[in-house]
Amino acid sequence: MNPEQIFALVAALLAGEPDASNFPVVAGGGADPRYPVAVAPCPRPVAPDEIEGETIICGTVTVPLNHFEPDGGQDVDLLFAIYRATSLVPAPDPVVHLHGGPGSGIMQSVGLTSFAFEELRRRRDIIAFDQRGVDTSGGIDRCFETVADNVEPILETLTGEESPALFTALVEACIAELDASGIEYQYINTEQNALDVAAVVSALGYEEYNLYGISYGTKLALETMRTAPEGLRSVIVDSVAPPSVNLYDTLLLPIWEAIENTEAQCNAQPACAEAYPDFADRYWALVETMLETPVQTDMGPISGFELFVITKDRNDWHGPYRGLTPWLPLMVSELEEGTTTTLTAILRGDLPTEENAQSIMAGATGLSVADTALARTALDAADQMTVLERMARNAIRALEADLAEGRAASGLAEEFDREMEAALAAMPDRAERVDFARDYLALRGAAPTPGALIVLVATHFDRTTQDRLLPMIRLMGPSDIADTFDRIGRDNVGIEQVLMGQFEQYLFACQEDMDWNSNEGTAAVHDQIDAAPTVEAAIADQNSNFFSNCALFEPHPREGFHDPVTADIPTLVMGGELDAQTASSWVELTASTLPNAQSVLFPETGHGALVFSRCAIDLGVAFIENPGAELDFSCAEDLRPSFVLPDGSWSHPE
């Protein structure tokens, strides 16, 4: 952030409520009367990179639960954000981001979208929205009664006590609650999601658009190409999960391929191939050995599970193990000999190494005294600039949070919340507190009325406490009541997510994918690979529990859903060789059936290739600018890693 941006952000925050007039289509209720649009506050934090009402606007698009019967009476409100293009002469066709999952949204992380799409946003608006049945767009499938009735065991799971039997019971109860409510949740599926994409674009007034999908979002993008292709100019599918693969049978395949790809990278460098032959087999054998007998380090025992996680999490773009590949063969070789030097350095955070002022100066040779002083001054100034920018960002975040809290809170709602919290803390009996929590949680799904609060207070508190709280409720106006219920929703979201985070995935997977996945299918996949037997067994057990819970749902398979997509729309298919969530082989598999596709696989890249390298970003921008042009993928070869050899020297790609 430069000083001008900081001044603009602080000025906007201090100016009061955001003005939606800069987004006239949203402010006017939308461009398509079939899908009404309403302005809504953006989830916090928006700052420090966005100014709500100027660079970003949020709202809801109302779509039918069943697009094939739009007058059926049940609707879904999809929460969206428009990130305005930074160019003064933007292109008219936005990029619509389709998030992963299914069962996890994007709108709670508006800052992440700002970061990931910074370059694509230079010429085009970016649109993001939570898909139906997910997070902020999941109001129709909330199981308020189920969560409220099981608040005590759910609270216990938050302390780390896992209970598969409890979760199965919660799923069964949640299904029964939705059935009793009359919600037609069979329409929470990828086909209806694809129709939502077209509806959102139409409602926001765009005639043509581009798609960027990641993970499950690639399945949705491909389904949109097949089901609702009108106006679709181009598509990027990143870390692809095509509908034609048995996704849940193959959970171990991406991790296995990432290890195989690491061996292939090493074998392409003669010095590495000679130092570390048969790396993949040795890695899996070591995982199995360490699962049986953990190695001892000065940081405690380390098992094969930790080794597996370290290796798998190279695919996490913002995690501590990104960039670990150059040291991985050396670490395995050392551990086979009982040496933990490299492993310990990784666990301490010393590897992968990061360039800093000290390392730069240590590598400098032949400088005069004056040049050395100038270099140190420049590096010290860069360090100070980094610290000051971080301080500015943190201050703006804190300012935004304070202002948002102040705007949302009326004196009555805030005082009522504080008094009720104090009264609850004074309850001596744990059972009474649990009973209160159950009824309090149930208000998450209730209509926001004073009567509901009066019943809560009268049921659970003594006369003295009632005498303090009931007059406050009676003085509340509509905005005070709405604020109080908003607070209840925020208070309960963590408890609710114990069930709903996984249940949202079940709604998609169990209804549309279980004709395509099974325990037998998992076993068949494991027969084709050669991973650690204990890891294979753990994945098989995990899948068995998943499939068992899925059997509680009525399946709704769709004919042709698992067929390969063959749409003739310009498509860029990309992925990473180290992706541990979607298999690298699925990149070419997907591209092979798309007649107008180009594909690229990036070395030293995990899940979500777009954020891993400048090469991926530039290719994405070039493709969106001219989807018909042939791309030059040569920059991907520059990402191939070198490897640390046993003597401390490095091998190099040829």
Q: Report whether pLDDT(351) > 60.
A: yes
Instruction: Count how many residues are written for the chain.
Output: 654
The model's pLDDT over 90-146, given as tens digits with 9 standing for 90+, comes to 999 999 999 998 877 888 888 888 888 999 999 999 999 999 998 877 777 778 788
Mean pLDDT of the chain: 89
Domain limits, the chain? 36-133+196-244+567-654, 141-187+410-509, 253-354, 361-408, 510-550
Q: How, if at all, do strands 75-83 and 37-39 pair? A: unpaired
Q: ∠7-9-12 over CA atoms, to 5°?
A: 105
* pLDDT recorded at residue 149: 82
Residue 55 has pLDDT above 80, yes or no: yes
**What per-residue confidence (pLDDT) applies to 36?**
98
588-601: pLDDT as tens digits: 999 999 999 999 99
Averaged pLDDT, 503-532 = 95
Q: For residue 259, which amino acid is it?
A: I
More confident residue, 147 or 173: 173
The pLDDT, as a whole number, for residue 11 is: 67
Kindly report which listed range (373-377, 476-480, 631-635) carries the lowest average pLDDT score: 373-377
pLDDT at residue 580 greater than cutoff 90 = yes
Taking only the tens place, the pLDDT of each residue in 226-284 is 999 999 999 999 999 999 999 999 999 999 999 999 999 999 999 999 999 999 999 99
* Cα 553 versus chain centre, distance: 25
90/423 Cα distance (integer angstroms): 55
Number of C-alpha atoms within 13 angstroms, CB side, residue 157?
18
Residue ranges with strand state E in 415-533: none
* H helical segments located in 100-246: 110-116, 144-149, 151-158, 164-181, 190-203, 216-227
Query: In terms of Cα–Cα distance, which of 457, 484, 485 is closest to 471?
Result: 457
Locate tokens 């402010």: which residue?
Answer: 27
The dihedrals phi and psi of 619, each to the nearest 5 degrees, come to -65, -40
CB 583 within 8 A of CB 250: yes
Residue 401, pLDDT score: 66
- Which of these, 297, 304, 351, lies nearest to 326 by C-alpha position? 351
pLDDT at residue 269, rounded to an integer: 96
Token representation of residue 2: 């430069």
Average pLDDT over residues 561-582: 97
Residue 58: φ, ψ to 5°? -125, 160
Residues 6+ apart with CB under 8 A from 652: 269, 271, 642
pLDDT in tens, 430-489: 778 778 877 887 787 778 899 999 999 999 998 888 888 898 898 888 888 888 888 777
What's the rounded mean pLDDT across residues 62-69?
A: 96
The CB density around residue 496, as the number of other CB atoms within 10 Å, is 22
Q: How confident is the model at residue 637 (pLDDT cuts 50, 70, 90)?
A: very high
Q: What is the pLDDT of residue 5?
A: 65
**Quick check: 372 pLDDT over 90?**
no
CATH superfamily of 36-133+196-244+567-654: Alpha/Beta hydrolase fold, catalytic domain (3.40.50.1820)
pTM beyond 0.85, yes or no: yes
In Å, what is the CA distance from 579 to each residue of 213, 272, 311, 576? 15, 22, 11, 5
CA 343, CA 306: separation in Å to the nearest integer?
10
Q: Dihedral angle at the C-alpha atoms of 378, 383, 388, 391, nearest 10 degrees?
A: 170
9: pLDDT confidence band, cut at 50, 70 and 90?
Answer: low
Average pLDDT over residues 479-508: 79
* pLDDT computed for residue 45 by the predictor: 74
**Token pair for 120:** 């694509």
Lowest mean pLDDT among 42-51, 167-176, 384-393: 384-393
How far is it, in rounded angstroms, from Cα 154 to Cα 158? Answer: 7
The pLDDT score that the predictor gives to residue 418 is 83
User: What pLDDT score does 477 carry?
Assistant: 87
pLDDT, tens digit, 9 for 90 and up, residues 186-242: 999 999 999 999 999 999 999 999 999 999 999 999 999 999 999 999 999 999 999
∠ CA 295-298-299, nearest 5°, is 85
